[in-house]
Structure 1
Amino acid sequence: MLALLGLAPRQAEAARRERSLLLHHLHTGETLNAVYFADGRYLPEGLGAFTHHLRDWRVDRARPIDPELLDLLWALRQRLESKAPIQVVCGYRTPETNAMLRRRSEGVARNSLHMRAMAVDLRVPDRSLRSLRLAAISLRRGGVGYYPASDFVHVDTGRVRYW
């Protein structure tokens, strides 16, 4: 799996030991810096913390986050060589929230992977949106959507595709 992440040997070795993420949710104002993987296994308490952090903030409901999504965010931050927190625009969405957003915007998919806790819309403040998009595409780990007018990039753990 680590070879697929496209990491340098030193980064790959670090990934085997421990993975953590620093996220700042733009709508809740919450910041989370937590370890979700250590000693060759995912940590239930870390996964739980990220599940809560990436919840549908509109209705305060969560769904267990896809650990591969966290790995994708971790690899993206490594690729960007950023120390800044990943800014979360949107994580998990309930079907009701997704339907409401679909009524307001053409850019919301009917079967969005946000509803399966497999997608995040994000920014990285010390990197351009274009750089973020290119880094996400280079990982070849899922879908990458580019929304410059809304100032975010979408990443997900579905099939590899770009828009």
Structure 2
Amino acid sequence: MPSLANMSPKIQQQNRTLQFNNLHTGESLNTCYFNAGHFVNTELQRVNHICRDFRRNEIHPMDKRLLTQLSAIQQVLETDAEVQIISGYRSPKTNAMLRAHSHGGVAKRSLHMQGRAIDFRIAGVDISDVHDAALSIKAGGVGYYPGSRFVHIDTGRVRFWHG
């Protein structure tokens, strides 16, 4: 399977679209966030909104590399099915609250607080296949949470774990 770093220049220049559904807010978004070789700022703002900290209604810029990772994962899976958002951006206050109520599952310095992580699943795709695809692109951190049926990806260093 191809890694994100080895994507051909032709693929890197293609238009990229994603469909999102925030499972907490019920909001949906179909976006072409990358067009003619460039990120589309108005569409990135829409992505930031749907990935916001819904508990505090705080919006933070999401790392564009996450979107590239999601597109690459979908390419590996040969699907354009909806990306179902479990958690995108988390404010420091929300992260601290979740950390206090979890059993070690929330990092103190979570990349969610920088807009550099997303927890998600892809509609109609087995979560183990999403996990395998995320690992195959070798683009950052990959957490696998089969019991909760989601995968975490981030733009940090390449590493992996099971939750």
TM-score, L = length of structure 2: 0.92
Q: Distance in 2 between matches of 1:134 and 1:3?
A: 12
The Cα shift of 1:35 comes to 1.1
Q: Distance in 2 between matches of 1:17 and 1:83?
A: 14
Aligned to 1:88: 85
Match for 1:154 among 136, 152, 155?
152
Match for 1:59 among 56, 60, 68?
56
Q: Can you list the C-alpha shifts for 1:81-139, whole angstroms capped at 9, x where unaligned?
A: 12320111000000000000001112000000000001110111221111111100000
Give the partner amino acid of 1:126.
G
RMSD over aligned CA atoms reads 1.6
Q: Are residues 1:73 and 2:70 paired?
A: yes
Aligned to 1:131: 129
Aligned to 2:19: 22
More deviation in 91-100 or 145-154? 145-154
Aligned to 1:4: 4
Give the partner amino acid of 1:70.
L
User: How many pairs does the alignment contain?
Assistant: 159
Residues 3 and 134 of structure 1: CA distance in aligned 2, closer, same or farther (over 3 Å): closer
The Cα shift of 1:74 comes to 1.0
Residues 160 and 14 of structure 1: CA distance in aligned 2, closer, same or farther (over 3 Å): closer
More deviation in 74-83 or 135-144? 74-83
Q: Runs in 1 of length 4+ with deviation above 2 angstroms?
A: 2-7, 12-15
Give the partner amino acid of 1:131.
D
Equivalent residue of 2:71, what SS? helix
More deviation in 76-85 or 45-54? 76-85
The Cα shift of 1:15 comes to 4.1
Q: Distance in 2 between matches of 1:37 and 1:83?
A: 15
Unaligned runs of 5+ in 1: none
Q: Are residues 1:108 and 2:106 paired?
A: yes
Whether the 8 Å CA contact 2:19–2:83 is kept in 1: the answer is yes
Unaligned runs of 5+ in 2: none
The Cα shift of 1:46 comes to 1.0
Whether the 8 Å CA contact 1:5–1:75 is kept in 2: the answer is no
The Cα shift of 1:80 comes to 1.0
TM-score, L = length of structure 1: 0.92
Residues 13 and 60 of structure 1: CA distance in aligned 2, closer, same or farther (over 3 Å): same
Whether the 8 Å CA contact 1:129–1:151 is kept in 2: the answer is yes
